[in-house]
Amino acid sequence: MPNETDYVSRFEAASKNADEPSWLAELRRKAIDDFQRQGFPTTKNEWWRDTSVKAIVESDFRDADGSPDVPKPLVNAATLEGAIGGHRVAFVNGKFSDELSHIGALPEGVFVGRLSDFAKAHPDKFEQLLAKTAKTDDAPFAALNTAFWRDGACVFVPKGQSIDETVHIVYLTQTNGHATIDHPRNLIVLEDDAKADVIEHYVGMDKCLAYFNNVVTEVVMGERAFLDHLKLQQESPCAFHVATMEIRQRGKSNFATNSISLGGRLVRNDFSTALDGEFIESTMDGLFLVDGEQHVDHHTKIDHLMPNCHSFETFKGILGGKSRGVFNGRIYVEKDAQKTDAKQTSRNLLLSKDATANARPQLEIYADDVKCTHGATIGQLDSNALFYLRSRGIGEAEAYKILVYAFAGDMIHRIKNLGARETLEAKLIELLPKATYLEEAS
């Protein structure tokens, strides 16, 4: 059975061949030590109590090596049939794909491309930025990623510049029969007054292929910077996906993410932001759709460190079959962070008696003049509403879709990229689990 030791010996073997600057080698060394010390988390760990990663621990993964070639249908899925325009940075089975990538003209000083290319072109900046936001001492998966990552995407927008078109970062996975592991590493940097719109997209074959994507995305935002981020998770129904997104925001910046999670067998998304300045706005939204035995967990952490910042969170889940959905939202308000306004909502729609939803708000407030609200609901479809629609001539299947869509549609409407929004609207309806569990008629 593979365990932490296997990862350590693999690290030792790989590090002998690595041709990297010494600071990076040291960073990786510290990361593997951090990983070894922490080990994989168990459900005894408070932060992991609702999500067991045993299946990941027990899997024997091989490193993704770029093979095999990805078939056309997967490429179409990955690009949402061409609906997402703009710049594309694509990786196939762990390797950058020149063929699927497309980077158009960019303003002066803007970088969009491979993280490994950014490291070569801007070694100083790379050293200043890498692993400064996503720490490894209390995050085993981020530690593992930091020790092993080979490549990923980088978006760097210098002061006052903006990228008008969407940057689409896409990771496609189709295994060769054996389960593979990859550690995508993304770095998004927006200096003061910079602006960008980024889609981070994971796509697997529709067939049930097991593999593991262990992602780290670091976001660094200067003053008044503006980032609109969409995380789109469409992994294979048997895939493991653990992603750590760490954000650092300076004064008056505005960060918004929307995590749309449709695939995967075991999915964990961590979003953490530190609001390090005044008048910052941070929005974290999410929608997950799970069926069968899928498990999707979102953990968010918002640290209000300074006064006058606003944070908004809305997470919705639609759960069918024997699936499980977890939302854990931690809001921390520092003593000096007066006039904080934090709003958190988690809503879950259970379509089956065997599905489970856990919603847990965690508020830690040390300031006395703040507004923090949270609410969590777990419910079923309203049978009276279903009857009302049917009594007007709308078929049962259609009425059911209308109601589920009414529950979730606003999360899709928040997507700014028009092509992505329209394609996902259709996709959501196509994927809706069958409802077997209705709220009792009154």
Partner 1 sequence: MSALLEIKNLHAEVEGNKILKGINLEVNPGEVHAIMGPNGTGKSTLAQVLAGHEAFDVTDGEALFEGEDLLEMEPEDRARAGLFMAFQYPVEIPGVNSSYFLKAALNAIRKHRGEPELDAMEFLKLAKAKMAELDMDPAFLKRPVNEGFSGGEKKRNDIFQMSILEPKLCILDETDSGLDIDALQVVAGGVNRMRSENRAIVVITHYQRLLEYIVPDYVHVMYDGKIAKSGGKELATELEAKGYGWLEKGGAAPAHAGA
Among 403, 420, 424, 435, binds partner 1 (CB under 8 A): 403
Closest approach of partner 1 to the CB of residue 286, in Å: 17
Interface with partner 1 includes 387 (CB under 8 A)? yes
Alpha helices for 40-87 (secondary structure H): 54-57, 72-78
Interface stretch with partner 1, choices 206-214, 292-300, 328-336, 392-400 (CB under 8 A): 392-400
Closest approach of partner 1 to the CB of residue 412, in Å: 12
- Spatial contact of 302 and 271, defined as CB atoms under 8 Å apart: no
Closest approach of partner 1 to the CB of residue 396, in Å: 7
Interface stretch with partner 1, choices 39-47, 105-113, 352-360, 382-390 (CB under 8 A): 382-390
Q: Give whichever of 169 and 350 is closer to partner 1, judged by the CB atom.
A: 350
Closest approach of partner 1 to the CB of residue 430, in Å: 18
Among 42, 43, 176, 384, binds partner 1 (CB under 8 A): 384
Q: Give whichever of 135 and 390 is closer to partner 1, judged by the CB atom.
A: 390
Interface stretch with partner 1, choices 4-12, 149-157, 233-241, 379-387 (CB under 8 A): 379-387
- Number of chain positions touching partner 1 (CB under 8 A): 24
Closest approach of partner 1 to the CB of residue 213, in Å: 33
**Which string of x and - marks every residue 404-433 that binds partner 1 (by CB under 8 A)?**
-xxx-xx-----------------------
Q: Give whichever of 177 and 393 is closer to partner 1, judged by the CB atom.
A: 393
Among 24, 394, 429, 431, binds partner 1 (CB under 8 A): 394
Interface with partner 1 includes 399 (CB under 8 A)? yes
Closest approach of partner 1 to the CB of residue 284, in Å: 21
Structure tokens of 24?
Answer: 């990076």
Q: Give whichever of 15 and 383 is closer to partner 1, judged by the CB atom.
A: 383
User: What distance separates the 2 farthest-apart alpha carbons in the chain?
Assistant: 71
Q: Are strands 87-92 and 95-96 parallel, antiparallel or unpaired?
A: antiparallel
Identify which of 381, 323, 386, 327 has the alpha carbon closest to the alpha carbon of residue 355. 323
Interface stretch with partner 1, choices 189-197, 308-316, 357-365, 393-401 (CB under 8 A): 393-401
Among 14, 83, 100, 385, binds partner 1 (CB under 8 A): 385
| Cα end-to-end span (Å), the chain | 53
Interface residue list for partner 1 (CB under 8 A): 382-385, 387-396, 398-399, 402-403, 405-407, 409-410, 441
